[in-house]
Amino acid sequence: MKKFILLLIVIVFVFSMFNFAEKPRIGVLRFTNNVAGTSYWSWNTTVARELQDMLIAELATTKAFQVLERKEINAVFSEQELSKSGRVSKSTRVKMGKIKGAKYLIAGTVAAFEKSGGKGGKVRFKGISLGGKKTKIYIAVDVKVIDTETGEVVDVRTIEASAKGKALGAGLNIRNFSISGGANKKTPTGKAIRACLIYISRYLKCSLAKVKHPRCMKKWNKMEAKRQKKTMDSIDLD
């Protein structure tokens, strides 16, 4: 009986520690691009911001992190200054010195963006291809996790995703394209990008929130080994 009670106490203690452990504090940087200038991916600041916002949303959805807003930090400072001015009621004033610092910064770089298929039978209008055969879109993003205390890159992973389909924007010029806007979410391009960001959020949940739990990491390490082998097999070393 004593052993059972002791075991129960240990289980309750471990559960409480796990349940009340602070979630990792993270901030997301704007995405950069290593394939700019190709016919399939014309980069601009709007795309960089949208990818940043989309990843923030996916990370917040996991409920595994404290996702800190940095893009709108000036608006937060303005609200604090307004509270400090005395023009806001005491009961609703914002407390100063409560902004949390990020433990990790997440940086994403688009390493590859490819399109195959989709030739013939198209009508083009202002950079958008209508109709055509089925198109396959492939995207790869290099993800870096940076420790803000040391500046050290503590984790790196390449995440890939692809999507097939025939829809508006299958042969898209992204120079004037909003990834998150309207019908573009349903295109192969939009689907591949969204899938890649979901994969990134799930990997980071496993890597950071679950502190690289062996069972969780086994799947990702297997995927990484497969990716590396596929890349190496595609290289002709004469």
CATH of the domain at 54: 3.40.50.10610
pLDDT in tens, 115-144: 887 654 444 434 444 455 678 889 999 999
Weakest mean pLDDT among 20-34, 109-123, 177-191, 196-210: 177-191
Q: Does the residue 186 lie in any domain?
A: yes
**Summary mean pLDDT of the chain:** 77
Q: Does the residue 93 lie in any domain?
A: no
208 compared with 42, residue with greater pLDDT:
208
Q: Other CB atoms closer than 10 Å to residue 36's CB: what's the count? A: 14
Model confidence band, residue 203 (pLDDT cutoffs 50, 70, 90): very high
Buried b (16+ CB within 10 A) or exposed e, 92-116: eeeeeeeeeebbbbbbbebbebebe
Q: Does the residue 200 lie in any domain?
A: yes
Looking at the structure of the chain, the number of domains it has is 1
What pLDDT, on the 0 to 100 scale, is given for residue 174? 40
pLDDT exceeds cutoff 80 at 11: no
Residues 23-34 have a mean pLDDT of 90
Model confidence band, residue 172 (pLDDT cutoffs 50, 70, 90): very low
Q: Does the residue 12 lie in any domain?
A: no
Report the alpha-carbon distance of residue 29 to residue 71 in Å, rounded: 9
Q: Does the residue 91 lie in any domain?
A: no
Residue ranges making up the domain that contains 219: 24-86+99-228
Q: Does the residue 176 lie in any domain?
A: yes
What pLDDT, on the 0 to 100 scale, is given for residue 122? 47
Report the alpha-carbon distance of residue 172 to residue 178 in Å, rounded: 11
Contacts 24+ apart (CB under 8 A), 145-149: 145/104, 145/105, 145/106, 145/204, 145/207, 145/208, 146/104, 146/105, 146/106, 146/107, 147/103, 147/104, 148/101, 148/102, 148/103, 148/104, 148/105, 149/103
Determine the Cα angle at 29 with ends 28 and 31, to 5°: 115
Q: Does the residue 7 lie in any domain?
A: no
pLDDT exceeds cutoff 80 at 157: yes
